[in-house]
Amino acid sequence: MQQTTASLQPNAESVHTTPARPPFSRQSLWRTGSDRWRYLLGVLAGMVLIVTLLLWYVTAGERSLAELAVAGGLAVIAAAALLMGALDVSSWRVRQITAAVERIAAGDLDARVPARGPGDIGALSRAVNGMAERLERQSRKRNRERDRLNTVLHVMNDGVIILNKHGYVSIINPSAARILRVTVDDALNKSFVQVVKDYRLAEVLLACIEENAEHSATYELAGDAYVRIIVTPFLRGAANGYLVLMQDLSHIHRLETVRRDFVSNLSHELRTPLASVKALVDTLRDGALDDPPAAERFLGRMEVEVDEMAQMVQELLELSRIESGQAPLRLFPTAVATLVEPAVERLHAQAERSGLTLSTMLPADLPEVMVDTDRIRTVIINLVHNAIKFTPPGGFVTVSARMAPDAVVISVADTGAGIPAEDLPRIFERFYKADRARSGGGTGLGLAIAKHSVNAHNGRLWVDSTEGAGSTFSFTLPLVNLSLTHN
């Protein structure tokens, strides 16, 4: 008993102050303290009762032997009752300790034993309470660590799955559930094969199990999703389970696709004017210089081609400056008509040459907006230029404006060919060109620049289009007061 007490006490020094005795020995019951006084009190009470009864009998002088025996018996019974009551106190304390330990074992770490009195019972009570306090501290620490782990797993972009040694899911974070298109609750306690539903991913786990070593692979899943899976056994061996990491590479794959498209488009756009310039130079060398009117015509065509290449380079530089934050806005309160009318006037001649009707619809009561005038005019020019380029002769291009909650909406609508549905999700990506844009020229940078410029003004740019029924590009600009508040 004494050794058990020492192992549970938080302070070992208190254990060594009491000499070791056999647990619950006769000597331990008679040590100084409340237990000893209970026992002495019982014996003393019995003796007092016996003496009292004897005196009563002697003084009476006429008591029979039977009466004396009854009186003595009552005295013995009284003394025994008091002694048994004192002993029952110790038994009750043991039952208290047992009940508290059972509650602690069941998970109730708030259970405590009244630590009263000296002796082994009191020491055991204090030891049990100390054990419960240590367990409670450790439980709180584990709960904090669990909460931190859950937070990390919840915010991670990579998917994390922890499998037990049998390959069943013990933990899965939201990112892994999103990649695999399942819910967390549905995946828990199911086999990895049931959750991934793809034999290729399951084969990576099987290879890890067979070789007890890390394995990885990259696959294209349904819905154009690209996933890299890494499966590794825990450091203490496969018997403790496996860690599965899943990295969603879809965005990286899309960026790589955009890069390839950009290189293809840029090479196409550069190759065409360069080939034209080279052909014109060869023509001039072959004798066209001797014909001044022809030479002038060829030089004019060369100038147009060079200007297009210069515009392409300028757009690339502008996009780079906007994305890198090196093109700060110069914001001023500006009337909407001041933004729209100069841009439309600049493109009137181009619209007439294309056989189009270019018009504006601007309410007179529109409030001012807080904008960088040059930047927003460039956006409008870009949108109107695209509308003219992709609208057949006899069509209409209309620039309008209207009020919206906390903003002004400017729209450029055309009656042109429209945009194919498959191109709409990517139409604002930098360097992206729809098939129709390739036939119409351009680098595919204009809409990307426009979107970045509108976003910089806390606005939004979007398109509504149906192939064969025209397109409407719209963007919002914040009002003066709202813009000042945001900035």
Q: How far is CA 136 from CA 43, 227, 295, in A?
A: 44, 43, 95
The whole-angstrom separation of Cα 429 and Cα 448 is 6
CA neighbor of 446 nearest in space, from 362, 369, 397, 388: 388
Domains of the chain and any CATH numbers: 2-139 (no CATH), 156-248 (3.30.450.20), 253-323 (1.10.287.130), 332-486 (3.30.565.10)
What does 267-309 look like in DSSP terms, one character per residue? Answer: HHHHHHHHHHHHHHHHHHHTTGGGSHHHHHHHHHHHHHHHHHH
* pLDDT at 462 exceeding the cut of 70: yes
pTM of model > 0.85: no
223, two tokens: 């819905």
Per-residue pLDDT tens digits for 101-137 = 777 777 777 777 776 655 677 777 778 788 888 888 8
Q: What is the pLDDT of residue 36?
A: 53
Residue 443 near residue 265 (C-beta atoms within 8 A):
yes
Higher pLDDT, 202 or 25: 202
What does 414-433 look like in DSSP terms, one character per residue? Answer: E-S----GGGGGGTTSTT--
The whole-angstrom separation of Cα 299 and Cα 292 is 10
Q: What is the pLDDT of residue 277?
A: 86
CA neighbor of 194 nearest in space, from 158, 228, 166, 232: 166
The highest-confidence range among 114-123, 396-405, 425-434, by mean pLDDT, is 396-405
470, two tokens: 């025209």
112 phi and psi, to 5 degrees?
Answer: -140, 160
* pLDDT at 57 exceeding the cut of 80: no
In the chain, what is the straight-line distance between the N-terminal and C-terminal CA atoms, in Å?
Answer: 74
The highest-confidence range among 63-67, 281-285, 291-295, 409-413, by mean pLDDT, is 409-413
CA atoms within 13 A on the CB side of 429: 18
